[in-house]
Amino acid sequence: MDYFHLSAGQDTMERLSALGLAHLGDGVYELMVRSHLCLHGKATNAGLHKAAVKYVAAPAQAKLVHAILPLLTEEEQDVYRRGRNSRTAAVPHNASVGEYHAATALESLFGWLYLQGKTDRLNELFSAMMEEADHAL
Report, as residue numbers or ranges, the catalytic residues: 26
Name the nearest CA neighbour of 98 among 70, 134, 130, 58.
Answer: 58
- How far is C-alpha 37 from the chain's CA centre? 16
**How far is the C-alpha of 3 from the C-alpha of 35, rounded, in Å?**
18
DSSP H helix total and E strand total for the chain: 7, 0
* DSSP one-letter code for 2: -
* H or E element in which residue 33 lies: helix 18-39
**Identity of the residue numbered 15:** R
